[in-house]
Amino acid sequence: MTRLYQGKTMAAGISETALDGPFGVELGGVDFCRPLEDTETSAIADAFHRHQALLFRAPGLGPREFLQFVRQFGEPDASAPQHEPVDVDGFTGLRLVSNIQEAGKPKGQFGHDEMGWHQDRWTDAAPPPATILYGVEIPRVGGATAIANLCDAYDALPEALRRRVEGRTIHFPLMVRDPGNTLAGADIHDEALFRIVPLVQTHAVTGRRFLFLGARRILSYIDTSPRVSGLDPQAGSALLDEIYAHISSPAFEYRHRWRVGDLLLWDNRCCAHRREAFDNAERRLLYAMPLVSSEVLWAPKGQPLAA
C-alpha cells in the first residue's frame, strides 16, 4: 500500500491508539479545557494525515467549547443550516444532526434514516478539508457513522477497474435534487449546471492518490445522478456501481459506534462517510461542522483540489 507521507513524532503527552478498523486512531492526552499549544496542533494535524480519521474522547463539551476546538484547525462553515440556527457568540453556522422534534419542529437535520456514502459540500470548488462530529445524545442501537478511506480504496483497485477510472472526470449536478429529470439531456460539460472534477485526485499534503466520489444516493429519495466523462449515463452509472461496491469493503471502512462525548475528525476530501439508520423513537443529537478552509490541515481557502 502506498505511504508517501512519513509524518513526525507525536507531541509529548498525546498518545495514539489504533481504532477498531483498518485505519484511524484515537488520540489521548488532549486537554479540551485550554487552547492547544502549537506543538499539539501540529501533532494532531500530522496524525490526521497519517491516519485520515481521528477520535477524541471529550465528554461535556457544549456548542461554545466544540467551536473553540474546531477553530484551532480552520474556518468553520458559517452558512445557514437546515434548521433553526443556534447562536454561539454571534456564530450561527453550527449544524445539529438530529431526529429530535421540539414543539413540533425539527431540532436538527437529516432525521433517522440511513444515509449513503458522501463527502460534505462535494459541489464546492474546494470541498471542506475536514469534517468534525461530536456526540451529544446517542441512541442505544444503530446510528453508527462509517468512514471509507478512499486512498486505500484507490490503492487496492483491481487493475481492470483502475484503467477504467484513470483520466476520467466526474460531473456533479449543481441541482442536487432533480425530480423532473430536467438534466437528462444537458451538456455535462456545462459548468453552469455541473461541478466537474477529476475522479482520481492527488492529496496536496500526503501525495497519495484517492477517489473523489462526492455524493450519489444520499437518502432513499435523493439520487444526485453524477455523470462520468466519456460514458453515457447508463455506462457511467454502472461504473459508479462498481466503484461504490469496491469502497464498501470492510477493508477500507472504519465504523464508529457512538458514545456520548466522542469527537470524530476526518479528512473529507479523501474519505467518504455514511450513517446507519436508527429507531426514530430514540434521540440522537450530534454537533457537526465542516471546515471550509484550513491552513493547518490542508490549503488556504479557495485553492481547488489537486488533479
Task: Note the pLDDT tens digit of each residue in 54-109.
Answer: 999 999 999 999 999 999 999 999 999 989 999 999 999 999 999 999 999 999 99
Q: How many domains does the chain have?
A: 2
DSSP code for 81: P
On whether both 237 and 131 belong to a single domain, the answer is no
Other C-beta atoms within 10 Å of 22: how many?
A: 15
On whether both 19 and 164 belong to a single domain, the answer is no
The pLDDT tens digits for 200-228 are 999 999 999 999 999 999 887 788 889 99
Q: Indicate if the pLDDT at residue 306 is higher than 60.
A: no
Beta partners for residue 288, in sequence order: 95, 133
On whether both 19 and 76 belong to a single domain, the answer is yes
On whether both 270 and 134 belong to a single domain, the answer is yes
Q: Is residue 65 assigned to a domain? A: yes
On whether both 265 and 126 belong to a single domain, the answer is yes
Q: Indicate if the pLDDT at residue 144 is higher than 80.
A: yes
Q: Indicate if the pLDDT at residue 5 is higher than 80.
A: no
Computed over every residue of the chain, the mean pLDDT equals 91
Q: Is residue 44 assigned to a domain? A: yes
On whether both 201 and 76 belong to a single domain, the answer is no
On whether both 45 and 78 belong to a single domain, the answer is yes
Q: What pLDDT does residue 307 have?
A: 35
On whether both 183 and 266 belong to a single domain, the answer is no
Q: Is residue 209 assigned to a domain? A: yes
On whether both 273 and 231 belong to a single domain, the answer is no
Q: What pLDDT does residue 10 have?
A: 67
CA distances from 137 to 30, 61, 63, 165 (A): 22, 12, 13, 40
Rg (CA), the chain: 19
One-letter amino acid of 303: Q
The pLDDT tens digits for 279-293 are 999 999 999 999 999
Q: What pLDDT does residue 298 have?
A: 78
Q: Indicate if the pLDDT at residue 28 is higher than 60.
A: yes
On whether both 171 and 242 belong to a single domain, the answer is yes
pLDDT > 70 fraction of the chain, expressed in percent and rounded:
93
pLDDT > 90 fraction of the chain, expressed in percent and rounded:
83
Q: What pLDDT does residue 224 have?
A: 85
On whether both 267 and 127 belong to a single domain, the answer is yes
More confident call, 5 vs 259:
259
DSSP code for 175: S
Rounded-to-integer distance, Cα 243 and Cα 231, Å: 15
On whether both 125 and 274 belong to a single domain, the answer is yes
Q: Is residue 28 assigned to a domain? A: yes
The pLDDT tens digits for 171-193 are 999 988 776 777 888 899 999 99
Rounded-to-integer distance, Cα 116 and Cα 86, Å: 27
Its domain, for residue 233, covers 150-247
Q: Indicate if the pLDDT at residue 199 is higher than 70.
A: yes
Q: Is residue 4 assigned to a domain? A: no
